[in-house]
Amino acid sequence: MKAYQIHSDGGIDAIERVNLDGPKPKADEVLVRIRACSLNYRDLIVAQGGYSRNDTRPVIPLSDGAGEVVEVGEDVTEFKTGDRVAGCFFRDWVGGDPTEEQFQTALGGGIDGVLREYMTFKPHALVPVPQHLSFEEASTLPCAALTAWQALVVKGDIKAGHDILTLGTGGVSTFAIKFAAMHGARVIATSSSDEKLEQAKQLGATDIVNYRDNPEWHRNVRDLTDGRGVDNVVEVGGIGTLERSLKSAALNGHVSLIGVLSGTEGAVNPLLALFNRVTIHGIYVGSREMFHAMNRAIETSQLKPAIDRVFGFDEAPDAYRHLQSGSHVGKVVIAID
């Protein structure tokens, strides 16, 4: 079986192509042929040795993959051969509030991930994927899509007419744009690139702000909402953008704290949240139950993910480099022939 492994903290150049024995399913397991994987910013962190929870070596990277069931154990009743499925980001977080033990089962970091031809799963770690999606499209769902879904729907309680702010045009942000538009919400999208902002409008953004041209972009957000602010900020930047995100939030609004793209060092005045009764939610992907609910909504609405580029399996390191460049809009995918 062809696969990739990370043996050191040397970054992209240390990701090694390997040949491994193919897995055999136990009585309570499902064997899946992985047909496509997608990358997240977290995967760059794992390759550099910066993943904070149980960063193991060697590890097969990537959390997000979709494929088809090729064999089921004799005790499995939920899936059958030929089913199209995706793995859950957290293998063991089925529903409710997660435990630390469940958080240790994140694919491609704490345990082996999906950048390989075949993988066995317990049934509780798989979900059926929407039938209108290709394997490449379905592979984008486990992390980025579910993160945006939890931020807006599960924790953010999004409603028609809400104002939503997204930062940048990566996977989480583009899914947030699409989910917000699906719910009849208004979306203000930010980027440093006018070209990317035009693409964000095509995805469903209502208004756009170039933060490079407007360093105090929270003022633009306030102006666009008649001084009120937004109901939810999908905050993927981290410390470098959090202060302006808090200034962009409305009274009783939400800030969904997701990413660390701008770094992890710095200080933020907590009074910005206190005086406006802003709720800050830490969002870390989601459970299998959330994944099921999201997929039903995606299938009903026939939503399609935004994919920037698809690489071949032999080009996996190039896919990492493309993600690292920051030139993408939407998801970067690796197809496995």
- Rounded CA-CA distance 65/137 in Å is 10
Nearest to 108 by CA among 98, 119, 97: 119
User: Amino acid identity of 256?
Assistant: S
Strand-pair partners of 187: 164
Go through the domains of the chain in sequence order and give each one's CATH number.
2-143+287-335 (3.90.180.10), 156-282 (3.40.50.720)
Q: Is the pLDDT score of 144 beyond 70?
A: yes
Which 3 state secondary structure label does DSSP give 203? helix
What is the reported pTM?
0.96
Q: How confident is the model at residue 56 (pLDDT cuts 50, 70, 90)?
A: confident
Is the bond into 58 cis (omega within 30 degrees of 0)?
Answer: yes
Q: Is the pLDDT score of 52 beyond 80?
A: no
Q: Is the pLDDT score of 135 beyond 70?
A: yes
pLDDT score at 104 = 94
Q: Is the pLDDT score of 51 beyond 80?
A: no
Nearest to 98 by CA among 259, 238, 285: 285
Note the pLDDT tens digit of each residue in 246-300: 999 999 999 999 987 656 667 788 899 999 999 999 999 999 999 999 999 999 9
